[in-house]
A and B are shown apart, each in its own frame.
Chain A
Amino acid sequence: MTRLLPPLLLSAVLLIGWEFACRLLHVPPWFLPPPSAVATALIERAPLLAASAGATFWMALQALALATLLGGGLALAVSLSRPAEQAVRPLAVALQVTPVVAIAPLVMIWAGLDHADRAVVALAATVAFFPLFSGVLTGLKSADPDLERLFDLYSASPVQRLVRLRLPAALPFVLEGLRVAAGLAVIGAVVAEFVSGSGSTQGLAWRLLEAGNRLRTADMLAALACLMVMGLLLNAVVGLLERAARRRLS
């Protein structure tokens, strides 16, 4: 609890300062509404925002699952052969350094223009792929070399080696990758929604665009607050998982 107090206190101070600044300086609400107006927007639009947050969260979650499956699976396959790793790694890095905004229009075409949600999931998964691939691959190779030799000495089968040595050694790296990927999946989903520019996804990004086009700044900030909370929650959940795993494994 004492760990939560300083950030909460700072947030409160910032919000109060913001409120007073807006009132004293007569800032027009279309430019910067005070926190009280944002809070009102949050309450008034709660059902719509909750539905949109749910949509974005669901897309990010699907993307995370997809990235875990593909990134983890590929890393596992590649870890068994050095040439395979050498072949795949540069491609994975190329995928990582390509801006998601730049490939979004392509993915839109491939996913089908009337399936914007699929394109959003695919794009978010693309962004979340690399930390998982890299985390699993690094983790699988992180076992103590002397322990690897011990498994050689006792003629362990590849499956025994994977299950008894490499997977447990990889787990902290996998969870760290998952934590980074979870944040990226949300970012990827929002960016992809922006680029898709269609209301068919009905996520938080769409709420942002919609409010922005109508100059309803308080609504924009309310949607932004929802996104922030979602990111924090996701981070906290994966962080808890990570700590639990570390306690079990070390």
Chain B
Amino acid sequence: MAEAEAGAAASLGGVVVRYPGRAPLGPIDLTIAPGEIVAVVGASGAGKSTVLRLMAGLESPSEGAVVTASGRIGFVFQSATLMPWADALANVALPLELAGMARSEARVRAAEALTAVGLGDRLEARPRQLSGGMAMRVALARALATEPDLLLLDEPFAALDSVTRRRLIEDLHRLWAARAPRPAIVFVTHDVEEAVYLADRALVFDATTGRVAAGLRSPGALPRPAGWRVDAGYRAAVETLAAALAKAMPPLLTEAGA
């Protein structure tokens, strides 16, 4: 059995998760290097979100070890998950205040984080006054406000239109590149193009075995140059990843999709 690796931003060693009445997940071995961006793709129920929750400590493995470099973890859920009764500023200040930071200082830091995601003029907006994309930016600002070493994103842009989604991916790259040291990002997605564009490498989870079936490295460096979406290397990587994902789908799904 592999050991969880020290010095990594996050590491899973021989992790197995058992649920009553379902096939177990794993064993999973994977290591996320500091500052690395990793996309996790796979069919629904393949355990992608579980891996994020394991890294965040929101779930415990039945077997094996989960190690993260520090306690500073940011998490963005599928929906923005904002407190509807609080304005953007209070939402972003929340994790800082929960950690015991003085209210005034937390508000200053939260305002900076919101400005960084382009919402410096919407500090007092309530979630219902924000569009889906803006709400997701607030969630991103909240996750980044604590200056995490590890940022976990669970299909955060799935519900957004493609223009907003692309813009947010560019913003995520920009925010990631601006920080020193850069945080490691683990990003769960259904979308192979998003995975190749966003990440240094993509991990494919197999729905049947509950294990990592393949790992593919994206070509080129991050952040992406303008026009990279028409680059032949990018297109080829998308096709390779799509083929790997198709192989990792449950048999019935593949037949239906073919």
Contacts and interface: CB of A to CB of B under 8 A. Distances in A.
Interface of A: 144, 146-147, 149-156, 160, 164-165, 168, 171, 248-250
B233 interface: no
Given A164-B94, A168-B83, A249-B85, 7 more contacts: A144-B81, A150-B95, A153-B73, A153-B75, A160-B98, A165-B83, A168-B86
B98 A151 contact: yes
A147 B83 contact: yes
A171 B85 CA distance: 10
Q: Which of B58, B84, B98 has the most CB of A within 10 A?
A: B98
B137 to A, nearest CB: 16
Interface residues of B, number: 21
B58 A154 contact: no
Contacts of B128: 250
B32 interface: no
B85 A250 contact: yes
25 contacts: A144-B81, A146-B78, A146-B79, A147-B81, A149-B53, A150-B75, A150-B81, A150-B94, A151-B98, A153-B57, A153-B58, A153-B95, A154-B94, A154-B95, A154-B99, A154-B146, A155-B98, A160-B98, A164-B83, A164-B94, A165-B83, A168-B83, A168-B86, A250-B85, A250-B128
Contacts of B98: 151, 154-156, 160, 164
B127 to A, nearest CB: 9
Please provide the 8 A-B residue pairs with the shortest distance between their CB atoms, ordered closest to farther: A249-B85, A146-B81, A154-B98, A146-B77, A154-B95, A168-B85, A156-B98, A250-B84
B144 to A, nearest CB: 14
B237 interface: no
Q: Which of B57, B85, B86, B99 has the most CB of A within 10 A?
A: B85
